[in-house]
Structure 1
Amino acid sequence: MKTLSSLIIGIFLFVGSFLWFSSQPVVESYINQYEWDNTYYVERGDTLWDLAENISSAEEDYRIVIAAIKKVNKIDSYLKVNQKIILPKN
């Protein structure tokens, strides 16, 4: 039973790390595609999803846009009111 649990956890970790690493080139490509010089101050109620939705075209995957915003701004948790972030210029 312990071996089975270890195997399942190992599989989840492998798949998760594979998915994370395989998405990085896409995020880097998105970052390099735009000029990141639009300063924005987070307002109460703002979410990364809302920001991504406002700056993206309908064809873009919001998850990639969110990952790019987080990477450029070194965000590892939640947005904070009055936090200064840089967004891509549309």
Structure 2
Amino acid sequence: MGAGMQIRQAIISKIEALALERQMAIPSLRDDSVIVDLGLDSFRLGVLVAQLEDEFGFDPWASGQVDFPVTFGELVSLYERHET
């Protein structure tokens, strides 16, 4: 599995775990899925970002020059760009 697929799968797994934690239906994750429509509140989005930092060892927002992505695909791309 390539690095991009590992990043994508890690993000999917974390979103699914957060949904299960809230006893929500697991959201359908497509590249055009809007992040705020995934059913995760702002606290859980913060948890997701913290978990991704733990997983990948970096915070794409640390520079203060990155806007939060709107779609799932943009989120994955943000981590993939930083990884390469």
Instruction: Decide: shared fold, TM above 0.5.
Output: no
TM-score class, shorter-chain normalisation, is under 0.3
Could you tell me the TM-score, scaled by structure 2's length?
Answer: 0.27
Could you tell me the TM-score, scaled by structure 1's length?
Answer: 0.26
Structure number, greater radius of gyration: 1
Give the structure, 1 or 2, with the largest relative contact order (CA under 8 Å, sep 6 or more): 1
Whichever structure has more strand as a proportion of its residues is: 1
